[in-house]
């Protein structure tokens, strides 16, 4: 019994650390008034880093393709929430371009992913 428990323990310890780094490595902005995202199955993550790479579902995409991809997702799941995981130092130009694409795809519920802090 203690052995099994130890194995499970080790498993969870390892996965807790690893799961933070899927997608692109980004340094999330800090905010205080943050809310938890309720339904994880409705969430699609969009990552953007300083180099201008954009990734959806762990695949690199071009800015102009976002609308098509998100429109398809929107059709599959009308309750779609888009979680935007942008690096805190990206320029608003990039963010606005992505906003435009999302509006085009009618995916309007967004979440600016942030960490708690100043």
Partner 1 sequence: MLLNNRQRREARIPNDSMADIAFLLLCFFLVTTSLDLDKGLQLGLPPKGEAKPIPKKNIASILINAAGEVAIDENETPILSIKDIIKRRLAENSKLIVSIKTARQTPYQVYVKVIDQVKMAEATKISIAEPEQ
Which residues lie near partner 1 (CB under 8 A)?
1-2, 5-6, 8-9, 12-13, 15-16, 19-20, 29-37, 40, 43, 45, 81, 83-84, 86-93, 95-96, 99-100, 102-104, 106, 108-116
Helical (H) or strand (E) element with 7: helix 2-18
3-class state of residue 16 by DSSP: helix
Least distance in angstroms from the C-beta of 36 to partner 1: 5
**106/99 Cα distance (integer angstroms):** 10
Nearer to partner 1, 35 or 76 (CB): 35
Least distance in angstroms from the C-beta of 72 to partner 1: 17
């Amino acid at each position: 019994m203690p052995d099994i428990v130890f194995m499970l323990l080790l498993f969870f310890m390892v996965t807790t650390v690893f799961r933070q780094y899927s997608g692109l490595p980004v340094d999330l902005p800090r905010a205080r008034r943050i809310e938890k995202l309720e339904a994880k199955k409705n969430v699609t993550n969009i990552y953007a880093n300083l180099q201008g790479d954009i990734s959806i579902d762990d695949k690199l995409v071009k800015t102009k393709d976002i609308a098509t991809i998100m429109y398809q997702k929107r059709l599959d799941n009308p309750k779609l929430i888009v979680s935007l995981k942008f690096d805190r130092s990206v320029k608003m130009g990039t963010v606005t371009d992505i906003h435009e694409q999302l509006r085009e795809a009618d995916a309007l519920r967004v979440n600016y992913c942030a960490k708690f802090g100043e």
